[in-house]
Amino acid sequence: MATTPDTTLGDAGEFGLISQLVEIFEGDEHVLVGPGDDAAVLRIRHGHVVVSTDLMVEGRHFRRDWASASDVGHRAAAQNLSDINAMGGTARHLTIGLAAPADLPLEWALDLARGFAEECASVGATVVGGDVTRADQVVIAVTVIGQCTQAPVLRSGARPGDVLALTGRQGWAAGGLAVLGRGFRSPRVLVEAYRRPEPPYAAGRQAAEAGASALIDVSDGLLAEAGHLAEASGVAIDVRASSFAVPEPLQAVGAALGADPMQFILAGGDDHALLATFPPDVAVPEGWQVIGEVLEGSGVTVDGSAYDGATGWTHF
């Protein structure tokens, strides 16, 4: 159909939108049936199938005046691809559901799809289907299907004596969110980190193959995710704040906002770093930084003491 920059979803209609989305999402040799039928059909040859679902709601997880449609697409894909990464797996295929107002510009939806497809392509994953419907605000629902060639690494495998290690940027997206929340757009490096995270996609499988005992994606906050590991494994975890070097952009934001920049690191999410535990006889892989240890007991401490600040994002 012929469109203009003023064309809305209401103008294009459900099937007009779908026909253009299908052109953006390309399949691969594992997709036997892709978008266009009642369900996709995939070929799974060996290993374990791992599946995760996530939601992004306008006004709660993103704002259109803070990020472009392409940025939102990258973020929506990244948070789902990272969940498979956190199992020690590799993402293969995704489905995406889009609910949106009828007056949403068609080009915004297509740019969302393009950003989503670009992020998926960075790990060799493809979109195989989805759904669209009308809603009062933009809601994005994604399901990702991945594969583990070895046993998936769970949250529940940490044991006393293990070391706690981190890989990927941490606190940058939280710093960017704080900046945007005050109406600013700099430091730009932090704003861009919020708009388009850079998860360490190769690190999950790397950790699994090295012998990680537990693994989790840092989506809601470092201390919050450490708490999930501790609870699932029935252990205590102590995080060493001194193991972190606070980067200059976070120092600048902390000074400007009158905030402790360490709070961005300890409680920040959305960078999608990976947090893992490794047994004492396992060499921590290159690129991972030891930031704490696993102990007998329960809960999470910082430098041996209870932490009285925020630990991460809460959904309710």
Which residues does the annotation place in the binding site for ATP? 130-131, 155, 219
Q: Which helix (H) or strand (E) holds 27?
A: none
Residues making up the binding site for Mg(2+): 38, 52-54, 83, 131, 217, 220
- Give the strand pairing for 139-148 and 236-239: unpaired
Q: How is residue 61 written in tokens? A: 């997880």
- Give 259's Cβ-side CA count (13 Å radius): 23
C-alpha span between 254 and 119 (Å, rounded)? 30
Q: How is residue 286 written in tokens? A: 């290159």
- Give the strand pairing for 126-134 and 90-100: parallel
Q: Which helix (H) or strand (E) holds 200?
A: none
- Give the strand pairing for 236-239 and 299-302: parallel
Residues making up the binding site for substrate: 61, 270, 313
Residues making up the binding site: 38, 52-54, 61, 83, 130-131, 155, 217, 219-220, 270, 313
C-alpha span between 316 and 303 (Å, rounded)? 29
- Give the strand pairing for 236-239 and 31-33: unpaired
C-alpha span between 58 and 64 (Å, rounded)? 8
* CA-CA-CA-CA torsion sign (256, 258, 263, 269): negative
C-alpha span between 186 and 184 (Å, rounded)? 6
Give the bridge partners for 126, in sequence order.
93
- φ, ψ for residue 225 (rounded to 5)? -70, -35
Q: How is residue 282 written in tokens? A: 């396992």
Distances (CA, A) of 28 to 34, 43, 85, 183, 245: 9, 10, 20, 42, 42
Find out whether 16 and 2 touch, Cβ atoms under 8 Å.
no
